Amino acid sequence: MLKQIEGSRAIAEAVALCRPEVICAYPITPQTHIVEALGEMVKKEEIEHCEFINVESEFAALSVAIGSSAAGARSYTATASQGILFMAEAVYNAAGLGLPIVMTIGNRAIGAPINIWNDHSDSMSMRDAGWIQLFAETNQEAADLHIQAFRLAEELSCPVMVCVDGFILTHAYDRVDIPTQQQVDAYLPRFEPVQILDVDEPVSIGAMVGPDAFFEVRYLQHHKQLMALDLIPRLADEFRQKFGRDAGGLIRSYRCDDAETIVVALGSLVGTIKDAVDGMREAGHRIGVVSICSFRPFPLAAVRAALVRAKRVVVVEKCFAVGIGGIVSDGVRKALAGSQVPTYTAIAGLGGRPVTQKSLVGLFESAQGDALEQLNFLDLKRDVVEREIARGRKQRRAGPSAEAILRDLRALRSGIPLGAA
């Protein structure tokens, strides 16, 4: 049914249709509306046979889900930002134990400085934890990916993160087609775990594994991700047949057929880039977009096939590996290994900095002239950064940069010369 609905509400309704049995909730912006909606649905008994548990931390939220999943219940939680860091230990643990938990990430920056706005630093911090990570481009896809995520998680016995841009998607009112219970039931069978904590068949789970077997366990986690490379497109195909629309899959190409320049991005940013590309196409530029939905497993072969005929690739990413540069571009370069396609990285939108079409077009036009550095920072306020660097050269002082910049600005505004404060 078509609804004009907040992204968080759409996600909550999709999760509800998946018949979750245990939902753990801890508030953190911007995922709160999702669990609030689910809590209300459980309390009104719109979701039957479901426990909604308010816990005392994100660490507990995922730990409760670990327990409930190990005891055979379909388990769900959601978090963001500092929350995923606080539960980091449990994130790795859930993957190591092979528990098919589904978790929404309302993507948000990580502090300090504390910042509630959108970027992908939080999901990226857990990219190697053994979870499958799917990034939603729109709110329709965010809702649909959750339905696929439970199926994927349970077929592989592997946890899945659905990454949804905070505010840009979670708080945006959009037209979303919410499927019927019958449709979802036909797509997502009941959860039948292979091994649970059962008094009639006692097993020990989570033993201390030494050097003789740990390596193999890790490898088998990798193998699950490789299996997901096959399963994700199959589930997306089946989804299209049953629901009549595209969602998920490994990657999607847009206007790439004859493209000389191909832009790569994740999440809602792809929508803005598509608009920029449409404008440039009208002006005769041969440019297209590849959006990566499955960041883990990273679809090396599909990315290579989509990009290898381009003259250049620009990866625009909302995350930043401090001390080296891009994170998504690392994977893209690996996919293009041995080819001669130059790959540029543009770090953009950190901490919610708007990524405008104007800036993107400027970036892509520079790329077309191959006038870009390998690592670029879109709309970084160079003057602020350089003033602070210069001040630091004159007067070495430890402390937080944000406050140092502020002191600097105040000094300038008040007319007090630098260094007098």
Q: How far is the CB of 73 from other proteins (least distance, A)?
A: 4
Pick the closer one to other proteins by CB: 63 or 345: 63
Residue of the chain from 8, 79, 81, 93 that contacts other proteins (CB under 8 A): 93
Residue 281 CB coordination number (10 Å): 14
For residues 116 and 108, give the distance between their C-alpha atoms in angstroms, rounded to a whole number: 6
Which is closer to other proteins, CB of 2 or CB of 199? 199
Question: Which amino acid is located at 238 in the chain?
Answer: E
Q: In the complex, what is the shortest distance from the CB of residue 8 to other proteins, in angstroms, rounded to a whole number?
A: 23
User: Between 75 and 138, whose beta carbon lies closer to other proteins?
Assistant: 75
Q: Which is nearer to other proteins, 54 or 181 (CB)?
A: 54
Token pair for 87:
């539960």
Other Cβ atoms within 10 Å of 345 Cβ, number: 26
Phi, psi at 47, each rounded to 5°: -105, 120
Contact 247, 145 (CB under 8 A): yes
Indicate which single residue of 202, 284, 323, 369 sits in contact with other proteins (rule: CB under 8 A): 202
Which positions from 5 to 44 touch other proteins by CB under 8 A, shown as an x/- string?
Answer: ----------------xx-x--------------------
> Can residue 220 be called a binding residue for other proteins (CB under 8 A)?
no
* Cα–Cα distance measured from residue 174 to residue 8, given in angstroms and rounded to the nearest whole number: 10
Within 172-201, the residues that bind other proteins by CB under 8 A are 197-201
Per rule CB under 8 A, count of chain residues that contact other proteins:
44
Distance of closest approach, residue 151 Cβ to other proteins, in angstroms: 20
Which residue from 1, 208, 322, 324 is in contact with other proteins, where contact means CB under 8 A? 208
Site residues for other proteins, 387-406, by CB under 8 A, read: none
Rank residues 210 and 419 by Cβ distance to other proteins and give the closer one: 210
Q: What DSSP state is assigned to residue 351?
A: G
H-run or E-run covering 238: helix 214-243
Please tell me whether residue 359 binds other proteins under the rule CB under 8 A: no
**Rounded-to-integer distance, Cα 315 and Cα 348, Å:** 10
Among 24, 261, 293, CA closest to 137 = 293
Nearest to other proteins of 75, 376 (CB atom): 75
- Quick note: the x/- pattern for other proteins over 50-79, rule CB under 8 A, is xx-xxxxx-xx--xxxxxxxxxxx-x----
Which residue do the tokens 């400085």 mark?
113
Q: Among residues 206, 244, 354, 392, which is the contact residue for other proteins, using CB under 8 A?
A: 206
Query: Scanning residues 221 to 280, which ones bind other proteins (CB under 8 A)?
Result: none
Would you say 208 or 283 has its CB closer to other proteins?
208
Cβ 204 to other proteins, closest distance in Å?
4
Half-sphere exposure (Cβ direction) of 217: Cα atoms closer than 13 Å: 15
H helix intervals, 87-128: 88-96, 121-125
Which residue type, as a one-letter code, is found at position 94?
Answer: A
Element (H, E) at 57: none
210 binds other proteins (CB under 8 A): yes
Cα–Cα dist 118/305, whole Å = 30
User: Nearest 5 degrees, angle CA 364-CA 365-CA 371?
Assistant: 95
Is residue 97 close enough to count as binding other proteins by CB under 8 A? yes
CB of 50 to other proteins, least distance (A): 7
SS3 assignment, position 277: helix
Which parts of this chain interact with other proteins (CB under 8 A)? Answer: 21-22, 24, 49-51, 53-57, 59-60, 63-73, 75, 89-90, 93, 97, 197-210, 213
